[in-house]
Amino acid sequence: MTLNVVEGQPTVAAVLEQGLCEYFGQSVQIQQITSTALDNYSTHPIHRLQVTLNTGQQISTIFKRLRQDVRQGREVLLYQRLLVGQRFGAPQLYAGLCDRAAQRYWLFLEDVGEWKLEYYEISEWLLTFRWMAQLHAAYYDREAELRSLDCLGEHNAEFYYYLLQTARESLKKKAEAHLLMRFDCLMAQFDELVAFLICQPHTLLHGDVSCHNIIVQPNVGIRPIDWEWASIGIAAWDVVRLLSGWGKYKPYLLAAYLDELKQHIVLDRQTFSRTLVYCDILKTLWYLRWWIKPFQKPAFVETALAKLENLWYELD
C-alpha cells in the first residue's frame, strides 16, 4: 500500500502509534508495517496491517479509510464514544482519526478474523439473534441518551420518506411504466406506516446487520463489524434485515430473539409484530433503491411489488 504523506498532517503510522501508546498505557514505537488490501463488501478501502513494535510484539489491525464526507466520520466517533472496550462485541479500537477540516476519517481496529456468519449453520445464527436482542435492550426507549452522543444516524420520518422517494426514483428510471403505477398504488398507505413507527420506542441499531457484517470468532463469539449505518431507530429494522432468506426457519430465529429480549424489557408482542411488517416494507424499499442491476429482469420488480402487496395485506 502506498500512503500519501501531506505536509502538516499526521501519517498512518503516527496516528496508529499514538493510539497504541494509549491502548497499552506506555510508550511504544512501530518498527515495521506491512499491508494487504482486503477484498470485501465495503465501499471503503480496507487493509490488514501487520505491525511490529519495538517491544517485539506483533499486532494485526484492520485499517479502514472512510470516504470523504461519509456522514462526517460518525463511525470513528461511534467507536470512541459508544463501542469502547469491545462493547457489544465490536472490535477493539486501537486508534482513530476524525479530522473534519481535512475530511480524513480513519479507523484502526482489532483484527477479528474472516469467519463470517454466512459460513455457519443455524446454531450460530441463533446466537447472533440473541446477541442482537441484547444490543437492542441496552438502550431501549432511551433515544435522548443516544442522541446526546452525537455520532448516530436516525430513522425518523425524513429517513422513511427518503427510502420511499429513492425507491420510486429507481423504478422510474429502470422499470416499466405500469410497474411504477402499481408501486404508487401500493404506497398510498405509507403515511400510516410513518405515523405508526415514529411513535414506537426507539433503540440502538447496528443499521446494516447481515451475514457479511457479523464475524463468528472461534472461542470468543459474535463480533459485529461495519457500524457505519448505526442509528437510533426501531429494533425490527435490524431483525428483518437479518431474517432475510431464512424461509421456514424464520420462526425459530425470531423466537430466540424474543426469548432473549423479554429477559431485559417488557414488550408488547402484538405491536412488535406490526413493526416487523412495516420494517419488512421498508427493507423492500431499501433493496429497490440499491439493487439497480436486477431491474434488468422485470420479474425482480414484479416479485418485490408482490411482496409489498402481501405485506400490506397482513396489516389489514
User: Is pLDDT above 80 for 41?
Assistant: no
The stretch 248-273 carries a mean pLDDT of 96
The stretch 126-144 carries a mean pLDDT of 97
User: Is pLDDT above 60 for 136?
Assistant: yes
Q: What is the mean pLDDT of the chain?
A: 92
pLDDT tens for each residue of 152-185: 999 999 999 999 999 999 898 888 899 999 999 9
- Could you give the 3-state DSSP secondary structure of residue 154? strand
Compute φ and ψ for 102, nearest 5 degrees: -95, -5
Higher pLDDT, 70 or 117: 117
- Cα–Cα distance measured from residue 44 to residue 13, given in angstroms and rounded to the nearest whole number: 19
The stretch 227-236 carries a mean pLDDT of 96
pLDDT tens for each residue of 12-36: 999 999 999 999 999 999 999 999 9
Residue with cell 413507527: 197
Are 61 and 52 a contacting pair, CB within 8 Å?
no
Q: Could you tell me the pLDDT band of residue 6, with boundaries at 50, 70 and 90?
A: very low
Calculate what percentage of the chain has a pLDDT beyond 70: 93
Compute φ and ψ for 134, nearest 5 degrees: -65, -40
Instruction: Find, among 284, 205, 214, the residue nearest to 237 by Cα.
Output: 205
Long-range contacts of 157-163 (CB under 8 A, 24+ apart): 157/194, 157/198, 159/233, 160/190, 160/193, 160/194, 160/197, 160/282, 161/190, 161/194, 163/282, 163/285, 163/286, 163/289
- Helical packing angle, 298-315 and 269-290, nearest 10°: 160
- Cα–Cα distance measured from residue 152 to residue 205, given in angstroms and rounded to the nearest whole number: 9
Alpha helix (H) residue ranges in 219-315 = 235-243, 250-261, 269-290, 298-315
User: Is pLDDT above 60 for 65?
Assistant: yes
Q: What is the pLDDT of residue 203?
A: 98
Calculate what percentage of the chain has a pLDDT beyond 90: 80
For residue 204, what are the β-bridge partners? Answer: 232
CA distances from 196 to 74, 84, 102, 248 (A): 28, 34, 41, 28
- Helical packing angle, 235-243 and 122-138, nearest 10°: 170
Q: Could you tell me the pLDDT band of residue 199, with boundaries at 50, 70 and 90?
A: very high
The stretch 238-255 carries a mean pLDDT of 94
Higher pLDDT, 197 or 291: 197
- Cα–Cα distance measured from residue 180 to residue 305, given in angstroms and rounded to the nearest whole number: 10
- How many helices and strands, by DSSP H and E, does the chain display? 11, 10
**All domains in the chain, ordered by first residue:** 12-110 (3.30.200), 117-315 (3.90.1200.10)
The stretch 69-84 carries a mean pLDDT of 87
Long-range contacts of 241-248 (CB under 8 A, 24+ apart): 241/208, 241/209, 241/210, 241/283, 242/128, 242/129, 242/132, 242/209, 242/210, 242/211, 244/210, 244/283, 246/125
* Rg (the chain; Cα; Å): 21
Q: What is the pLDDT of residue 4?
A: 41
DSSP label of 61: E
pLDDT tens for each residue of 276-296: 999 999 999 998 887 666 666
The stretch 44-68 carries a mean pLDDT of 92
User: Is pLDDT above 70 for 75?
Assistant: yes
- Cα–Cα distance measured from residue 44 to residue 70, given in angstroms and rounded to the nearest whole number: 10
